[in-house]
């Protein structure tokens, strides 16, 4: 078990971008935690400041006590630490057990690592929680390192868009739909839609093609 966990730490250390994380960990995390569902969800930083309880786009974690616990404490938890089995069923009928932990960068919650087990599977235990905590430390450190690197999309001209918005703009330039962008960046389609609205306003444009043309003219964005 420890050997597997160390292999996961090594895989995290070797990825070059945030987008590579899910693929790099796909098989090892399922095996290590014995789960049927898992995912890394990155949150839009602007969303964190615009609502009281940020959306956590993960299995059964939107606006329930488990999500709030992670948001408020930046600490991992599972449903049995927060709710009775009866209360948990009021929040989630799809998954028997869930566990989630924080990905933190610069003192802010920037994402979550989420696991779920289907009915008939055992609950998460103290060892699972300890392993999740260790993973979140490694993920948080890796994300901090990746985000500290110079952004290749930025130009010498001051761009009004955030690094995440520039990522979305590049994918729009590649012809991806909102749904395809959401899958690539592990965010919801609504988050993509709201981001595009902000981007249009910042750039004073009204269409995707117009936005791409303006960015390609004034800023470094790949076609």
CA distance 29 to 33: 6
**pLDDT 10s digits, 126-180:** 999 999 999 999 999 999 888 776 544 444 456 788 878 888 998 998 889 999 8
Same domain assignment for residues 140 and 213: no
What CATH number does residue 37 fall under?
A: 3.30.450.40
Same domain assignment for residues 169 and 210: yes
Q: Residue 198 is part of which domain span?
A: 163-218
Same domain assignment for residues 107 and 130: yes
What CATH number does residue 179 fall under?
A: 1.10.10.10
Domain assignment of residue 213, yes or no: yes
Give pTM, 2 decimals. Answer: 0.63
Reference 109, options 168, 151, 47; nearest CA is 47
Same domain assignment for residues 48 and 89: yes
Domain boundary among 148, 173, 205: 148
Domain assignment of residue 158, yes or no: no
Same domain assignment for residues 108 and 25: yes
- Do 138 and 9 touch, CB atoms closer than 8 A? yes
Domain assignment of residue 80, yes or no: yes
**pLDDT 10s digits, 182-220:** 888 878 888 899 999 999 998 889 999 899 888 877 665
Count how many domains the chain has: 2
Same domain assignment for residues 23 and 100: yes
Same domain assignment for residues 181 and 110: no
Domain assignment of residue 79, yes or no: yes
Same domain assignment for residues 180 and 81: no
**pLDDT 10s digits, 70-123:** 888 999 999 999 999 888 888 777 788 999 999 998 888 888 888 989 889 999
Domain assignment of residue 155, yes or no: no
Same domain assignment for residues 43 and 143: yes
């Amino acid at each position: 078990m420890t050997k597997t966990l160390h292999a996961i730490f090594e895989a995290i250390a070797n990825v070059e971008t945030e987008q590579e994380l899910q693929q790099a960990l796909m098989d090892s995390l399922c095996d290590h935690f014995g789960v049927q569902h898992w995912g890394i969800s990155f949150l839009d930083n602007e969303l964190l400041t615009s609502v009281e309880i940020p959306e956590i786009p993960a299995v059964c974690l939107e606006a329930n006590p488990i999500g709030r616990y992670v948001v408020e404490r930046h600490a991992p938890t599972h449903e049995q630490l927060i709710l009775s089995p009866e209360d948990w069923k009021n929040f989630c009928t799809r998954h028997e057990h869930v566990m989630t932990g924080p990905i933190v960068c610069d003192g802010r919650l920037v994402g979550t690592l989420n696991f779920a087990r289907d009915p008939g599977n055992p609950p998460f235990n103290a060892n699972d929680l300890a392993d999740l905590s260790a993973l979140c430390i490694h993920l948080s450190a890796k994300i901090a390192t990746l985000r500290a690197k110079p952004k290749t999309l930025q130009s010498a001209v001051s761009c009004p868009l955030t690094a995440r918005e520039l990522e979305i703009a590049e994918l729009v330039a590649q012809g991806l739909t909102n749904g395809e962008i959401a899958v690539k960046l592990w965010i919801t389609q609504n988050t993509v839609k709201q981001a595009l609205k902000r981007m249009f306003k910042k750039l004073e444009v009204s269409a995707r093609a117009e936005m791409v043309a303006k960015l390609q003219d004034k800023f470094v964005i790949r076609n």
